[in-house]
Amino acid sequence: MHPLDWSIVAFYLLISLGIGYYYTKRSSSSTEEFFISGRSLPWWLAGTSMVATTFAADTPLAITEMVRSDGIWRNWYWWNIALGGLLGVFFFSRLWRRARVMTDNELIELRYGGKSAEFLRGFKAIYFALLYNFIVMGWVINGMSAVASVTLGVGRGWAVWGCAALTLFYSTMSGFWGVIVTDFIQFILAMGGSILLAVLAINHFGSLSGLIAAVKTSPNFQMDTLAFFPAAPTGSESFLSSNFFTFLIFISLMWWASHNSDGGGYIIQRMSACKDEKHSLLATLWFNLANYALRVWPWVIVALASIVMFPDLSSDALGDKAGYPKVMSALCGPGSLGILMASFLAAYMSTISTHLNWGASYLLNDVYRRFMRKDASEKHYLWISRLATVVMMAGGAFTAMNMGSIARAWEFIWAMGCGIGPVLILRWFWWRINAWSEIAALASSIVVTIALEIVAFVQTIESGVHYALFSQPPVLFGLKLGIQHKALIIVPISMICWIVVTLLTKPVSEERLSSFYERVHPGGRWPSAWKERWGSVRLRSHIFNWFLGVVLIYGATFGIGFMLFGSFWLGLSLLPIAAACGWWAVRRAVQF
């Protein structure tokens, strides 16, 4: 890079370091300040932090791979999550704030009680803080390494690990305050960098229409490359193997079945950190709008440019993921490359800092303080929190060094938790759900997922091919099972298991349930006397607000998309409809 580029990167790093140092004293007053900023965040800061932490260095690379291999429609792999995210906005954001918990696992004993709840809280804390979190951080570190290797011509490099050390420093010293404030700056920088590269890509082809024309004449152009929705299967194509079937599973099942169905760990952390219920709702709504409607299109433009500029990346170690950093290297000059590198570092650091703080909150609040030392001083807990943050970074670094075998476990990890979503939703609205419901949902998902992997193992060995963990999909009735097929098997089995277990086990004690309802008053299937005494929520109104939110998010997303890719007037007509529905939903929601 040019000295100007290095200066831009250094300036950004100094700002991050200064913010971390500035908030060190404030975060050191209590664990509540260290992990949830004293429950004092305004909506715009909490919501922007939610967006920043889901925007990692590997995200543009993953979007590029999806567009290059399958087309724009493949983004439904994560666009579908907006349907669940809007449940978080209109159903759960205020409930989490009312619960006044530091972590989502703390709700388990607030809602259930007993030995089963103790086990479930500890197990989920360790599972997500260590196994799940390490995989996420390892993936993000390797994503940043990929960008550095392509744009700077180095391997993982001192830049990547140096930024990891810097992130560890401000996350350890300034806690959640440092994470949140740096997230705000990092989001602005990351979005600015992605927009800058998209503009450079458009200018390279003369105009956006010139880019689209070049994509259509590319040898890699497919029928669905520029499509927002996949085409229905042809007569010769198997329905279960088609893109259209995959799309249907994404929008009908995957968004409500996962462990993020009532918010998700670090999103819940930010809901809990807001100053009140209204700010929690607005923060989550802003997150969904920015996350799905705003940030994706610059990446899509660059991905399409990479199809024309680098049609064959089969020999590259990164495969289609390399398209994004290769466009960076080809189009960025002095100054612009520095901005792009700083934006990638910002995306990288925002995600790493969040997972460090979030994982440490689980280890401190749900393991150490709950099961080891219940009566220590706040100063002691703060030092344990910082030690847990260091442990998280070490685990993420170790995972990154061994990512060659772990990267393939992503779908495996998702599948192991894909049956618990209905329980997480219903525990708020149905008194009969108990800790054994969650345990049965998790256990059945894990057992079926492992069983499918054993099938893949046996089939691979019988075919005479060397078996590598998660490398081959199982085959049933001649069909190779992708994640969409596994979901269609695991979710129904899991639902049958947890429903049967729920009805066969004892309900939670009335004392525990009434205490929970008095604090949260969620509405739904609870005793009428409690509703009259402590209030209730009209779920029908929330369902209608959710529908308005869906129109807002997808209307804005595809309004912008159609304006960019050929149907300008259709896109323009969608935007005011989306805006009107958003205004109506917010006006209705804040009245409750």
Mean pLDDT for all residues in the chain: 86
**Which of 259-268, 329-338, 527-536, 575-584 bottoms out in mean pLDDT, i.e. has the lowest?**
527-536
Question: What confidence score (pLDDT) does residue 397 get?
Answer: 77
Residues 6+ apart with CB under 8 A from 401: none
Most confident of 218-222, 480-484, 579-583: 579-583
The enclosing H or E element of 156 equals none
Indicate the pLDDT class of residue 574, thresholds 50, 70 and 90: very high
Question: What confidence score (pLDDT) does residue 151 get?
Answer: 66
Comparison of pLDDT for 463 and 372, the residue scoring more:
372
**Which of 12-26, 160-174, 578-592 bottoms out in mean pLDDT, i.e. has the lowest?**
160-174
To the nearest 10 degrees (0 to 180), the angle between helices 296-309 and 539-564 is: 30
Give the pair of three-digit tokens for residue 288: 């969904």
pLDDT at 407 over 50: no
Tens of pLDDT, residue by residue over 449-480, are 889 889 988 888 888 877 766 667 888 888 88
How far apart CA 437 and CA 447 sit, in angstroms, is 15
Tens of pLDDT, residue by residue over 425-435, are 999 999 999 99
- Give the predicted TM-score (pTM) of the model: 0.89
Q: How far is CA 566 from the centre of its chain?
A: 30
Tens of pLDDT, residue by residue over 35-68, are 888 889 999 999 999 998 887 777 888 889 889 9
Comparison of pLDDT for 156 and 2, the residue scoring more:
2
The enclosing H or E element of 468 equals none
pLDDT at 216 over 80: yes
Q: What is the largest CA-CA distance in the chain?
A: 70
pLDDT at 360 over 50: yes
Indicate the pLDDT class of residue 29, thresholds 50, 70 and 90: confident
Q: Which residue has the tokens 């670090």?
A: 266
pLDDT at 410 over 70: no
Question: What confidence score (pLDDT) does residue 261 get?
Answer: 87
Q: How far is CA 112 from the centre of its chain?
A: 27
Tens of pLDDT, residue by residue over 444-453, are 998 998 898 8
Tens of pLDDT, residue by residue over 485-540, are 888 999 999 999 999 999 999 999 999 999 999 999 888 888 888 888 877 777 88
* DSSP states of 232-272: PP-TTS-GGGSHHHHHHHIIIIIHHHSTTTT--HHHHHHHH
pLDDT at 403 over 60: no
pLDDT at 227 over 50: yes
